[in-house]
Amino acid sequence: MPRLYTITPQIWRDDFLCYNTNVNLADLLKNSLDSALLDLIHRIADESSALGFPIYLVGGSVRDLMLARPILDLDLTLEGDAIKLVRALVKKHGGELTTHEKFFTATWTPQSSNSQILDLISTRREIYSAPGSLPTVTKSTLDDDLRRRDFTINAMAIRVDGEHFGELYDPLCGQSDLEKKLIRVLHPKSFLDDPTRIFRALRYAERYGFTIDPESLKLVNDGSRKVLSTLSGERLRHEFDLIFEEPNPSTMLKQLAELDVLKSIRLRITSYELPLLDDPSPAFGEFAVPDMLSFQQTLCWVLWLMNSSVSEIEDVAERLAFPVLLTNAAVFASALKQELPSCKNWKPSQWTFHLDELPSLSVYAVYLVSKENALSEYLSKWQHVKPLTTGDDLKARGLAPGPRYGEILRHLRAAWLDGEVGTEEEERQLLATLVTDR
Ligand code: ATP
């Protein structure tokens, strides 16, 4: 018999309280998840059950399951000791345990190489000692765990152990809001506690085509914007990074401006149009900021900022604690975009020697918005053009090492780029004139 969840009504809207019905989503789970994932959930749930810990699929996993969207990360939460559970899993099935005791979280890396790494999290309560601070975390019940979350659609759980498999816990009417396509906060202080939720609300609304509940939207006000202005650059930048992982970031940037969020965090950028990135060329994937940003995120940052002046970019970079690589890519892209009209009649060698000094990502970003053919020629061909002659050849010809080496090799490269030589023999003849010229 599914447990009925009873809660004390401490919430701010009279119509906001949902008494749980006996909804069982076992069939939805069985029909939506592939068999390997289901099998993994059962293995974990069996172990959890043996330890007497009820275990649930929560948050984004439940939301995406109900929206019939692919589940990318398994969010599993248990009312019990996550570290004990992972220890038991490792003992029975092998693999590795990593513990994060402060956060009541343990990670299980199963033995098989194609299994995903799983975070198992003990249900917790979070208390914000001051607006915008990071919360103090203590172990608590599922109910508290759901109430610490951002939006009703992210505050549901489905129990997955034993005979309880499939029971839905939805004390805050998430399912009903999903049906109404509404993003709704759980209490009026939500954006004061954590104003990064403003960014999250816009992301979910845009991603799913939902609306932000008008009462929740009113909470984006002077109070929450003030708290937002106190957040660290890293925390704020992370929210933009997440926006740049979504398919259409422009709309969200525009909304952030309309809600005066950009102004409140001292971003003076006034353009929001980014080209749609249906197909960012994978050939340029190497331009991501290592260990920090994906290629798409890096590119979006540069595309957004390159419409601004260098001093505006530097302000943003300082406020949002940019890595140097990203600042440089944006600054050079901005400069290249501005100087483009004056480069129109350049020879390939002029383009190449100029673009060689810039980060390739800047060149690629400016190409995406300008479609300047010379930029794509540079990226695909010109930058790789080298003369056949090497420094060793010059040495073998008896030329004393020095700056002349570089000049000669540069001259030969320019000749290839500009079509003045096209064969080994022509290069040899040109080299002979250069060497005797000196
Ligand atoms: P996404 O598809 O964007 O990854 P997600 O729901 O899986 O969505 P996560 O950032 O992985 O998002 O967070 C997992 C869950 O943790 C959320 O569904 C939400 O319940 C909760 N959560 C995350 N960030 C916050 C926050 N800032 N405040 C409150 N709850 C949060």
Q: Using a 6 Å cutoff on CB, does residue 241 contact ligand 1? A: no
Residue % of the chain over a pLDDT of 90 = 66
C-alpha 262/C-alpha 250 separation (Å) is 13
Comparing 222 with 110, the larger pLDDT belongs to 222
- What domains are defined for the chain? 1-180 (3.30.460.10), 186-273 (1.10.110.30), 274-384 (no CATH), 391-436 (no CATH)
Which of 335, 325, 386 is CA-nearest to residue 361?
325
* Contact predicate 238/292, CB 8 Å: no
pLDDT digits (tens, 9 = 90+) for 228-273: 999 999 999 999 999 999 988 989 999 999 999 998 988 877 776 7
pLDDT for 21 beyond 80? no
Residue % of the chain over a pLDDT of 70 = 90
Closest C-alpha residue for ligand 1 atom 8 = 60
* Contact predicate 353/374, CB 8 Å: no
Q: Using a 6 Å cutoff on CB, does residue 233 contact ligand 1? A: no
CA of 236 to the centre of ligand 1 (A): 16
pLDDT digits (tens, 9 = 90+) for 104-131: 899 999 887 566 788 999 999 999 989 9
pLDDT of residue 321: 92
Q: Using a 6 Å cutoff on CB, does residue 124 contact ligand 1? A: no
Would you tell me how many other CB atoms lie within 10 Å of the CB of residue 197? 23
Extended beta strands in 39-145, E state:
55-58, 76-78, 96-100, 105-109, 118-122, 124-127, 136-139
The ligand 1 atom nearest the CA atom of 126: 29
End-to-end CA distance of the chain: 95
pLDDT for 8 beyond 60? no
